[in-house]
Chain A
Amino acid sequence: MSKGSDIFLQNVSKVVVFIVLAFALYLFFTGHSSPGGGFIAGLMSAGALLLLALAYDIETVRKVVPVDFKLVTAAGLLIALCTGSGALFFGEPFLKHAFGYFDLPLLGKTELHTALIFDLGVYLAVVGVTMTILLTIGEDN
């Protein structure tokens, strides 16, 4: 893609990208009790990066997020797998989740859940997959 020259889009997206990413973060953490979750949050984050790519160009995205998204996918899959296997060490069947309610400073009574770690794996995998596909096709000449 050619270097974007729309100055309005560029300036707006500078702010909007962060709003979208923050919203994605919110969706990710709230997923277990209200609409959201790793999948949607992952897509949303990929969407934010995509907006950046449209407003500027792919090199900018590469510079801002200097990671290999194939590795992000791999990390996500590994996290999901490890969360599932973790249960085995406690004598539970594969992918059995555990949760509990804790009193944390600032947050008050909070539910902590291993499903959230699994969801982190889903999140990373989705971000990695989407960005790999987008960047691969986008960079192709």
Chain B
Amino acid sequence: MSLLHLLALSPFLLAAGLPLLGRAVPRLHRGWFAAVLSVILFAALLGYSSQVRAGLPVTESFAWIPSLGISFTLYLDGLSLLFALLITGMGVLVAIYSIAYMSDESESLTRFYVFLLIFMGAMLGLVLSDNLLTLYGFWELTSITSFLLIGYHHYKHRSRYGALKSLLITMTGGLGLLSGFVLLYVMSGTYQIRELMDAAVPLASHPLFLPAMLLILLGAFTKSAQYPFHIWLPDAMEAPTPVSAYLHSATMVKAGLYLVARLSPVFAGTAEWFWIVSLGGLITLIYGSVAAVKQTDLKAILAYSTISQLGLIMCLLGLSSLSSVFVGEESLLYAAAGTAAMFHLLNHAVFKGSLFMIAGIVDHETGTRDVRKLGGLAQVMPIAFTISVFGAFSMAGLPPFGGFISKEMFLEAVLEPLHAGVFHLETWAILLPIIAWIASVFTFIYSALFVGRTFLGSRKPSLARKQVHDAPLLMTLPPALLAVLALGLGLFPSLVSYSLIRPAADSLMPHLAASGEQLPGSIKLWHGWTPALGMTIGVIAVGVLLTLTARRWLKLYAYVPRNLSINRFYDASLRFFERITVRITSLYMNGSSRSYIKYILGFMLLVLGFILFNATDVTFRVGAYAVIAPYEWFILLGLAAASLAVPFAKSRPVAIILTGTVGYLMTLMFVFLRAPDLALTQMVVESISVTLYLLCFYHLPKLRTERRAVRFRLPNFLVAVAVGVLMTLVALAVLGTNPFEPVSDYYVRESYESAGGKNIVNVILVDFRGFDTMLEIMVLGVASLGIYNMVKLRRKATDVGSRHVSHEGDNADEEAAQTRRSIYGYDGPDTGLSTLAEDPEEAEHIKIQDAPELPHEETDEHPQERHRSSSNSHEKGGERDV
């Protein structure tokens, strides 16, 4: 276990200890723990930078589960370092910001920071893993923590909807990713990324190469919200603003970009990779920027802007893959796209982080994020206004900010393929600069609108009455730092270009170093009169014109058909699956435990029977039985009598006691067979389960005496007889077959020697098969929670994910309600408050009346209401008679 391992895992350790730490120092805000840890991590990672810059990546490994060949290998090169610093650096600022932003509700705050820390650990693990399987594990963990954080305000329906949507989409991608990794393993025989890269060239001709690439890209595109998988990101804005700033703009959504960059050496050089990645990015870029312009919610503008910027970086990563097609000088031309991607990654985190925090501040101070109700805030919030101007300039690509430089580099990079002449670029390359330019114009417009509609103009009457002022220092400091950084990156790009950007670009394109080429590291604010500069001037001119006339042409968006949106497709498919699932499940889940027993036994019959009749080395040994002592005869007769009597019992207690008799007689049998552990366990289990049965049957109706003769049911009869026959056969086969060396000798020998125990059963449980035991108790724990939830909470299934929220005024909500009525016969526990509060006009009403405490009052139901019990489960009980 190295220092690097400890660094990567420390957020998890703090997350585990946070509830206790928080209780020890109740006066201290939980956010400080996260902030301090992030500072330490950031500093420690910075310590590695000189080594990484010198081209010496750090590799640390330890055997995790050596018997399965899984090791936990961490690898820190330029790319990982850039991401790791981004994660921890933004972590510090977001943690500090959240201290002021999150109001003090001590218990749920602990929950918030535990999730945030787990996310940070998962993200660090993701970018540091060298093993594809551990990478996948951390990847899914980021999805899960993102789900938990989006749904942090779990009493709000929109939060739950957004959380579920993000989880479903990113998990679908995650499954694709896993299959892609498995395919890579099939091709190369390794899960280590280092070894994969050495094998990259022979892989390209493998028939599974393309499927693996597509599956991995599915994972990356869903995670990085690329079109058409972007729909989860705007709904994820229901998360508290620090979360949006951290997960959904700076770090988690960049995991897809990281993966593409990380595996670029494996896949780059093929036409498919180039076209999918760069075109996917380009489409996302223009879609996001065009859609951002029409948004009216500050965070929604930023969400679509994030989608668009992620597309830009994705496009650059695709363009950079061209460099591995060429050699020498020419490959360096295309490699500039890779440098641009890395630089823009950093710039985006900086300016988008500051803008998100400003959106949070505006929300916090005014109680609304709707630009239609904002305006003229520059006079009362001068600091926030200045910061947002810095951020928006960088976002729009204006000098002298960092965003200007990377935007220029991007525009140069899209012009480069005009001369490439491969992958049919001679025909299609002209599209790249045109789309990029249009998208840049829209980027300029939404940046301008973001600032203009919030801070300039006249104040709306609803706000004029309120005392609005700048946010407290703790809340202003993080975005201010980011704004200064955005300026610093523009004026002094050399601060990071040699230490961070070039090493990152080097690990994105390792073939350059291998062929002896040296990436030009210098990034300059002024780089002469290039075509890209001309394009930027055009963007500014057209952008200013269009921004000033925005009122006239924004109406055009109303003509976009709503029925074709991807959100509606998502909602419809969710409804479709729900309908199908309910139909299929109700086919066999009929509430009668008799049927369930039948399924279980039937399945056992199939599997065991199949094995028994297909195995070649099974011999049935008849006749060589142990001698049955006279007292054992008594027990056996008792067993048979008791089990035969169960079906004829007239009342439940009698039936229970009879089954108990069977159990206790078995215990006695174990004693005679000299199996004290089994006897003890059986006895205790029997005692408890009999009591449990009694408790359960307390709620069931009395047994009915069947007046009519019991109908003969052939399937039941067949299953019963077959199970009896099968078990007899199995017993005989066990007697006769002995294909393996018995393992018991090994355990007898080793349990004292190497495990230091004399009770083999227990040594096996806690030591030899300790992993099994751990997972088993975990299963037990989950089962008990399941029972607790089912009995205590009794929530209705329709309450969770099937209700939709309306996007852009469509009637998704209504349609979903109709579906639910058709499936379940009712519309779920809707209090009616939700429709009231989600209607913008009504919500505004409420807000003005009791602002400012109620920025989040869209509570559509209260936790208590979930306890309403369903009467259905009781009514069904009547059918369960024996």
Q: Taking beta carbons and an 8 Å cutoff, which residues of A are in contact with B?
A: 1, 27, 31-40, 43-44, 46-47, 50, 54, 70, 73-74, 76-78, 80-81, 84, 88-89, 91, 93-95, 97, 99, 111, 113, 115, 118-119, 121-122, 125-126, 128-130, 132-134, 136-138, 140
Q: Are A97 and B767 in contact (CB under 8 A)?
A: yes
Q: Are A40 and B777 in contact (CB under 8 A)?
A: no
Residue of A nearest to B780 (CB): A129
The interface stretch among B147-155, B571-579, B786-794 is B786-794
Residue of B nearest to A44 (CB): B684
Q: Are B791 and A1 in contact (CB under 8 A)?
A: no
Further contacts, 17 of them, CB under 8 A, given A40-B681, A136-B784: A31-B762, A39-B765, A46-B688, A50-B687, A54-B691, A70-B788, A84-B770, A93-B66, A95-B770, A111-B756, A115-B757, A122-B773, A125-B781, A133-B788, A134-B695, A136-B792, A137-B787
Q: Are A138 and B677 in contact (CB under 8 A)?
A: no
Partner of A137 from the list B62, B695, B761, B766 (CB cut-off 8 Å) is: B695
Q: Are A128 and B781 in contact (CB under 8 A)?
A: yes
Which B residues are in CB contact (< 8 Å) with A70?
A: 784-785, 788
A33 CA to B757 CA, complexed, in Å: 5
Residue of B nearest to A100 (CB): B756
Q: Are B777 and A125 in contact (CB under 8 A)?
A: yes
Q: Taking beta carbons and an 8 Å cutoff, which residues of B are in contact with A?
A: 1, 16, 62-67, 676-677, 680-681, 684-685, 687-688, 691-692, 695-696, 698-699, 755-759, 761-763, 765-767, 770-771, 773-774, 777-778, 780-781, 783-785, 787-788, 791-792
Q: Are B777 and A80 in contact (CB under 8 A)?
A: yes
By CB atoms of chain A within 10 A, which of B699, B757, B778 has the most? B757
A133 CA to B692 CA, complexed, in Å: 9
| Shortest Cβ distance from residue B110 to the other chain A in the assembled complex, whole angstroms | 14
14 A-B contacts, Cβ less than 8 Å apart? A31-B759, A32-B759, A33-B757, A35-B677, A73-B780, A73-B781, A93-B64, A94-B771, A97-B755, A115-B755, A118-B774, A125-B781, A132-B784, A137-B791
A46 CA to B685 CA, complexed, in Å: 10
A76 CA to B761 CA, complexed, in Å: 20
Partner of A94 from the list B64, B691, B758, B773 (CB cut-off 8 Å) is: B64
A91 CA to B422 CA, complexed, in Å: 51
Q: Are B681 and A43 in contact (CB under 8 A)?
A: yes
Residue of A nearest to B763 (CB): A32
Residue of B nearest to A80 (CB): B774
Q: Describe B's contact surface by its main secondary structure.
A: helix
Which B residues are in CB contact (< 8 Å) with A27?
A: 680
Which B residues are in CB contact (< 8 Å) with A130?
A: 688, 784
| Shortest Cβ distance from residue B175 to the other chain A in the assembled complex, whole angstroms | 26
Partner of A136 from the list B762, B763, B765, B791 (CB cut-off 8 Å) is: B791
Which A residues are in CB contact (< 8 Å) with B762?
A: 31-32, 36-37, 119
If A36-B680, A50-B691 touch, does A95 touch B759 (CB 8 Å cutoff)? Answer: no
By CB atoms of chain B within 10 A, which of A27, A46, A136 has the most? A136
Residue of A nearest to B680 (CB): A40
If A34-B758, A40-B677, A93-B66 touch, does A132 touch B691 (CB 8 Å cutoff)? Answer: no
Q: Are A137 and B784 in contact (CB under 8 A)?
A: no
A40 CA to B685 CA, complexed, in Å: 9
Q: Are B766 and A34 in contact (CB under 8 A)?
A: no
| Shortest Cβ distance from residue A57 to the other chain B in the assembled complex, whole angstroms | 12
Q: Are A91 and B766 in contact (CB under 8 A)?
A: no
| Shortest Cβ distance from residue A52 to the other chain B in the assembled complex, whole angstroms | 12
Q: Are A137 and B691 in contact (CB under 8 A)?
A: no
Which B residues are in CB contact (< 8 Å) with A113?
A: 756-757
Q: Are A74 and B692 in contact (CB under 8 A)?
A: no
Which A residues are in CB contact (< 8 Å) with B792?
A: 136, 140
A27 CA to B62 CA, complexed, in Å: 37
Partner of A140 from the list B66, B774, B791 (CB cut-off 8 Å) is: B791
Residue of A nearest to B696 (CB): A137
Q: Are B770 and A91 in contact (CB under 8 A)?
A: no
Which B residues are in CB contact (< 8 Å) with A93?
A: 63-67
| Shortest Cβ distance from residue B72 to the other chain A in the assembled complex, whole angstroms | 9
| Shortest Cβ distance from residue B118 to the other chain A in the assembled complex, whole angstroms | 14
A93 CA to B66 CA, complexed, in Å: 7
Which B residues are in CB contact (< 8 Å) with A115?
A: 755, 757, 763, 766-767, 770
A109 CA to B791 CA, complexed, in Å: 49
Q: Are A132 and B757 in contact (CB under 8 A)?
A: no
Partner of A138 from the list B65, B685, B695, B777 (CB cut-off 8 Å) is: B695
Residue of A nearest to B679 (CB): A35
If A36-B759, A89-B1, A134-B691 touch, does A122 touch B64 (CB 8 Å cutoff)? Answer: no
Which A residues are in CB contact (< 8 Å) with B698?
A: 1
A47 CA to B767 CA, complexed, in Å: 26
A70 CA to B788 CA, complexed, in Å: 9
A93 CA to B770 CA, complexed, in Å: 12
Q: Are B766 and A118 in contact (CB under 8 A)?
A: yes
Which B residues are in CB contact (< 8 Å) with A89?
A: 1
Residue of B nearest to A134 (CB): B692
If A54-B691, A132-B788, A138-B695 touch, does A122 touch B766 (CB 8 Å cutoff)? Answer: yes
Which B residues are in CB contact (< 8 Å) with A129?
A: 777, 780-781, 783-784
Q: Are B787 and A88 in contact (CB under 8 A)?
A: no
Partner of B766 from the list A44, A119, A136 (CB cut-off 8 Å) is: A119
A109 CA to B63 CA, complexed, in Å: 34
Q: Are A84 and B787 in contact (CB under 8 A)?
A: no
Q: Are A37 and B791 in contact (CB under 8 A)?
A: no
A97 CA to B771 CA, complexed, in Å: 12
If A35-B680, A122-B766, A134-B691 touch, does A76 touch B785 (CB 8 Å cutoff)? Answer: no
A120 CA to B448 CA, complexed, in Å: 62
Residue of A nearest to B685 (CB): A43
Which A residues are in CB contact (< 8 Å) with B783?
A: 129
Which A residues are in CB contact (< 8 Å) with B763?
A: 32, 115
Which A residues are in CB contact (< 8 Å) with B791?
A: 136-137, 140
A24 CA to B108 CA, complexed, in Å: 37
Which B residues are in CB contact (< 8 Å) with A111?
A: 756
Residue of A nearest to B752 (CB): A33
Which B residues are in CB contact (< 8 Å) with A119?
A: 762, 766
A36 CA to B763 CA, complexed, in Å: 11
Q: Are A33 and B759 in contact (CB under 8 A)?
A: yes
A33 CA to B781 CA, complexed, in Å: 27
Instruction: Sort A-B residue pairs by CB-CB distance and give the 7 closest, nearest first.
Output: A33-B758, A37-B762, A125-B777, A99-B756, A35-B676, A32-B757, A43-B684
A60 CA to B759 CA, complexed, in Å: 37
Q: Are A95 and B771 in contact (CB under 8 A)?
A: yes
| Shortest Cβ distance from residue B805 to the other chain A in the assembled complex, whole angstroms | 32
Q: Are A77 and B778 in contact (CB under 8 A)?
A: yes
Q: Are B676 and A126 in contact (CB under 8 A)?
A: no
Q: Are A128 and B687 in contact (CB under 8 A)?
A: no
If A35-B680, A133-B692 touch, does A77 touch B766 (CB 8 Å cutoff)? Answer: no
Residue of B nearest to A37 (CB): B762
| Shortest Cβ distance from residue B6 to the other chain A in the assembled complex, whole angstroms | 9
Which A residues are in CB contact (< 8 Å) with B770?
A: 84, 95, 97, 115, 118
| Shortest Cβ distance from residue A119 to the other chain B in the assembled complex, whole angstroms | 5
Which B residues are in CB contact (< 8 Å) with A88?
A: 1, 62, 64
Which B residues are in CB contact (< 8 Å) with A40?
A: 677, 680-681, 684
Which B residues are in CB contact (< 8 Å) with A125?
A: 777, 780-781
Which B residues are in CB contact (< 8 Å) with A38?
A: 765-766
Q: Are A35 and B759 in contact (CB under 8 A)?
A: yes
| Shortest Cβ distance from residue A129 to the other chain B in the assembled complex, whole angstroms | 4
| Shortest Cβ distance from residue A61 to the other chain B in the assembled complex, whole angstroms | 13
A84 CA to B64 CA, complexed, in Å: 11
Which A residues are in CB contact (< 8 Å) with B778?
A: 77
Which B residues are in CB contact (< 8 Å) with A46?
A: 688
By CB atoms of chain A within 10 A, which of B67, B698, B756, B788 has the most? B756
A78 CA to B778 CA, complexed, in Å: 10
By CB atoms of chain A within 10 A, which of B688, B696, B783 has the most? B688
A9 CA to B398 CA, complexed, in Å: 85
Q: Are A50 and B688 in contact (CB under 8 A)?
A: yes
Which A residues are in CB contact (< 8 Å) with B773?
A: 80, 118, 122
Q: Are B788 and A47 in contact (CB under 8 A)?
A: no
